[in-house]
A = this chain, B = another copy of it.
Amino acid sequence: MKSLLDNINKAFENKSRLGIMSILSVNDSVSFVRLKELLGLSDGNLASHIRSLEEAGYLTTQKQFIGRRPNTSFSITEKGRKAFEEHIAALEALIRMS
Measured CB to CB, the residues of A under 8 A from B are 1-6, 8, 10, 13-16, 18-19, 22-23, 25-26, 37-41, 88, 91, 94-95, 97-98
Q: How far is the CA of A15 from the CA of B25 in the complex (A)?
A: 21
Residues of B within 8 A of A13 (CB): 13-15
> Do B8 and A15 touch (CB < 8 A)?
yes
Shortest beta-carbon distance, A29 to chain B, in Å? 15
> Do A4 and B19 touch (CB < 8 A)?
yes
Q: How far is the CA of A6 from the CA of B16 in the complex (A)?
A: 11
> Do A18 and B97 touch (CB < 8 A)?
no
Q: How far is the CA of A88 from the CA of B98 in the complex (A)?
A: 13
> Do A98 and B4 touch (CB < 8 A)?
no
